[in-house]
């Protein structure tokens, strides 16, 4: 298959070739536009670029452009985390075609976003304001541009007024029965002991919460009919005011935590009694009032419905670590 002539990536990003009609990524609703060929070429500011590693779209400032850049970056990190057997699948598909194995992998990734369930794409300095659905309606600043997909009744706007944001529901997550991965980049700001960082609690005894313990450990707890199950980091893995890429891969009640690609899993899962006052779905990022919730700078956040491998955690952490 002969690749198409490189085109410009606009604010409606994804990829297309002559043999592949315009496609729509089901999760993000990005209309295919531009081209992706053997060398992952694209144009920016009328200059031709070859994206052999993480692409840099120098004029990308809109939410969809930043989402496209984030997806490229995450996709290339996942490619770098594949072992030889995983890459061999795409090498076989590329044989006899004007495509590289990485090209085949990234076309599949950008087209279908396999196993990616929820995501806050990277957007620096957006300053959007979100409010929880509780009567208190406390404001929080979101560093990421949006949480996708959004539930009915939730919205985010460019002016940051009267915005709401959705989180995965309680039935979608269970550390006892679900295979899943959390991965996110975060800097803690004045995080108190035992305070939630991300909190999805639609009803007492159901939901999930990412929180910090009194011994400086980071813990994900799910609450459901089967009971409360938690997986935590070893103390003191969490260090306040320190930026890190955190990851969790869990399956069948056990799992591993990663900090910047290194395993920091706790000795054993813990259990925590649900807080009866935390029964409303909340999303708190860089929140300053009330003082019952953690204040953090959350750059991006993603959930996969499969367990990421240690190599993938390391590759993603490396891809999203700022260069000096």
Residue 305: what pLDDT? 85
CATH class entry, domain 118-319: mainly beta
Per the omega criterion (within 30 degrees of 0), is the bond before 290 cis? yes
Residue 208: what pLDDT? 74
Determine the length of the chain. 324
Helical spans, DSSP H, in the chain: 63-80, 84-94, 101-112, 310-319
Sorted by where each begins, the domain ranges of the chain are 1-111, 118-319
Does the structure show a pLDDT above 90 at 283? no
Task: Give all strands of the β-sheet with 206-212 in edge-to-edge order.
Answer: 227-232, 218-224, 206-212, 196-203, 282-283
User: Among 117-121, 151-155, 212-216, 291-295, which range has the highest average pLDDT?
Assistant: 212-216
Residue 11: what pLDDT? 27
| Bigger pLDDT: 45 vs 157 | 45
Residue 8: what pLDDT? 27
Residue 204: what pLDDT? 54
Residue 139: what pLDDT? 43
Per the structure block, which two tokens stand in for 65? 């452009």
Question: Alpha-carbon distance 226 to 176, whole Å?
Answer: 8
**Least trusted range by pLDDT, from 128-142, 246-260, 296-310:** 128-142
Report helix, strand or coil for 300: strand
Pairing outcome for strands 196-203 and 282-283: antiparallel
pLDDT in tens, 287-318: 333 344 555 666 777 888 899 999 999 999 99
Does the structure show a pLDDT above 50 at 77? yes
Residue 90: what pLDDT? 95
Question: Alpha-carbon distance 88 to 193, whole Å?
Answer: 46
**Contact assessment for residue 22 and residue 32, using Cβ atoms and an 8 Å cutoff:** yes
Distance of CA 93 to CAs 101, 110, 205, 247, Å? Answer: 7, 17, 47, 30
pLDDT in tens, 44-69: 556 655 544 433 334 344 555 566 67
Average pLDDT over residues 11-28: 32
For residue 97, what are the contacts with CB-CB under 8 A and spacing of at least 6?
1
| Bigger pLDDT: 315 vs 97 | 315
């Amino acid at each position: 298959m002969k690749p198409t002539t490189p085109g410009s990536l606009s604010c409606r990003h994804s990829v297309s070739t002559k043999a592949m009609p315009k496609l729509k990524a089901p999760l993000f609703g990005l209309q295919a536009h531009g081209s992706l060929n053997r060398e992952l070429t694209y144009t920016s500011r009328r200059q031709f670029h070859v994206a052999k590693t993480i692409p840099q779209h120098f004029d990308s400032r809109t939410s969809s452009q930043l989402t496209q850049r984030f997806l490229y970056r995450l996709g290339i990190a996942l490619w770098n985390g594949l072992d030889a057997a995983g890459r061999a699948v795409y090498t076989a598909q590329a044989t006899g075609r004007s495509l590289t194995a990485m090209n085949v992998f990234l076309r599949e990734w950008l087209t279908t976003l396999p196993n990616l369930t929820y995501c806050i794409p990277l957007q620096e300095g957006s300053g959007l304001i979100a409010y929880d659905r509780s009567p208190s309606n406390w404001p929080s600043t979101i560093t990421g541009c949006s949480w996708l997909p959004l539930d009915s009744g939730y919205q985010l706007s460019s002016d940051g007024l009267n915005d709401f944001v959705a989180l995965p529901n309680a039935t979608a997550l269970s550390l006892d029965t679900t295979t899943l991965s959390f991965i996110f980049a975060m800097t803690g700001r004045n995080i108190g002991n035992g305070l939630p960082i991300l909190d999805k609690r639609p009803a007492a005894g159901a939901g999930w919460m990412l929180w910090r313990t009194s011994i400086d450990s980071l813990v994900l707890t799910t609450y459901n009919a089967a009971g409360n199950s938690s997986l935590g980091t070893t103390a003191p893995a969490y260090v306040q005011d320190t930026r890190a890429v955190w990851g969790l891969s869990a399956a069948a009640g056990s799992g591993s935590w990663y900090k910047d690609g290194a395993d920091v899993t706790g000795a054993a899962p813990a259990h925590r009694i649900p807080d009866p006052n935390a029964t409303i779905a909340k999303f708190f990022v860089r929140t300053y009032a009330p003082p019952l919730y953690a204040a953090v700078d959350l750059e991006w956040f993603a959930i996969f419905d499969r367990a990421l491998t240690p190599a993938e955690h390391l590759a993603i952490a490396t891809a999203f670590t700022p260069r000096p």
